[in-house]
Chains A and B, each alone.
Chain A
Amino acid sequence: MIALLQRDLLLAVRAGGGFGLGVAFFLIVVVLVPLGIGPDMVILSKVSVGVLWVGALLACVLSLDRIFSLDYDDGTLELLLTSPIPLEAVVTIKAFSHWITTGLPLVVVSPILGLLLGLQVSDLKWVVISLLIGTPALSAIGAFGASLTVGIRRGGLLLSLLVLPLYVPTLIFGANVASKGLEDVSNNGALLILTAVTLAAFSILPFASAFVLRINLR
């Protein structure tokens, strides 16, 4: 399974499979917002958490169709299905690999973008914590969506339509953790629910994804 993770990361670096692409998109979205609503730092700092979370979410969606489609197109997915590794483990590893190449870089650059949106240095930790806990769920949910659309030509738009509504709980509780943290209000409840969403996504959805993939590969 480590070999699969290593291979996916190598492919992401070599074939433009995610590294940099999501971050660049995230950066552009965040830079465009002040151009749209004006340079007032008070307003920007108020909307910053929402902008960062929606930006992260859209950046994540951008590369979802690559989770399975490349392996489907060249026949590797079929071979993996008949390999000794359980398909559920393959899905989990591929979702984790997607998070490393897309979600983790967003977490890393989020403090810089938070500063651009007028957040104080002391406030940045809650943005980072919420994204660190919440973005893995985006990859696991996204992998489920990708398994539903694998094999569909130009299925990217359909994938976005399927996945974005499923992101709502993560978005609500992720943004809630950060915004309550910024206001110095207790955010323990939202933090626990966000953690639960991520754990549930990674423990349940790989089984659903594997089930759907087996049907789609028939």
Chain B
Amino acid sequence: MLLSVNNLSVSRGGVSLFKGLNFTLSSGQFISLTGGNGTGKTTLLRSIAGLQPIDEGEILIETDNFIFAGDSNGIKTSLTVSENLRFWSAIFGEKEFEEALEVFHLTKFENRFAGKLSAGQKRRLSLARLMLADKGIWLLDEPTVSLDKKSMEEFSKILKNHLKAGGAAVVATHTDLGLKTHSSNINIEDYRTKSGNLNASAGAFL
């Protein structure tokens, strides 16, 4: 088992988002997180990544066996595509970046400044970072935002290959990534607290 979440309660900005959340994640398993805006999908991912404190319960995870990709791309627009990836490759110190360039079809843009890429290309560059680290768990927040249909299908294949290789993923997404086997869904709204319901709905309009 790579990840175990037991009786988890988390709040954000003083508002309780969800309570009593339990799930486990094993090798080869994919969990999609769904739910309306402001229900706590991102907060759950951030809690698992250690960025957000929890109120109750426990999260059991090997701290050096996950990689987190948030809703921001985390790329430097004044660096080239290859410079961006070379930096993260050096930070993780596990894999070279050339394969990631190829897999995400970024080779022809490798000397282009990231600021000159389209939104979808920037997202692909951001996701290419996942391949630079040899981590078991991918924690992804809306990874397919800005991706076209073809890029989305290709990302789905990359995710499948990761799962086949013994990895696992928890992904907040509204898109069907076509991962039928070993996949499960957690609708965060099922764990929402009453106060969280009211405030999350109000927050969604802000």
Chain A contact residues, CB within 8 Å of chain B: 2-4, 7, 10-11, 14-15, 74-76, 78-85, 217-218
Contacts and interface: CB of A to CB of B under 8 A. Distances in A.
Interface residues of B, number: 28
B73 A75 contact: yes
19 contacts: A4-B87, A4-B91, A7-B79, A10-B79, A10-B83, A11-B76, A11-B78, A74-B73, A74-B74, A74-B77, A75-B70, A76-B74, A78-B51, A78-B70, A79-B68, A79-B70, A82-B50, A82-B66, A82-B67
Contacts, number: 63
Nearest to A13: B78
B49 interface: yes
Main secondary structure of the interface of B (DSSP, over half): loop
A-B pairs, top 6 by smallest CB distance, nearest first, are A75-B72, A3-B90, A75-B74, A15-B78, A82-B68, A79-B74
Nearest to B114: A74
B57 interface: no
A2 B78 CA distance: 19
A164 B45 CA distance: 38
A218 B73 contact: no
Contacts of A83: 91-92
A3 B51 contact: no
B87 A3 contact: yes
B52 interface: yes
B91 A218 contact: no
Contacts of A76: 74-76
Interface string B11-51: 00000000000000000000000000000000000000111
A84 B72 contact: no
Nearest to A90: B91
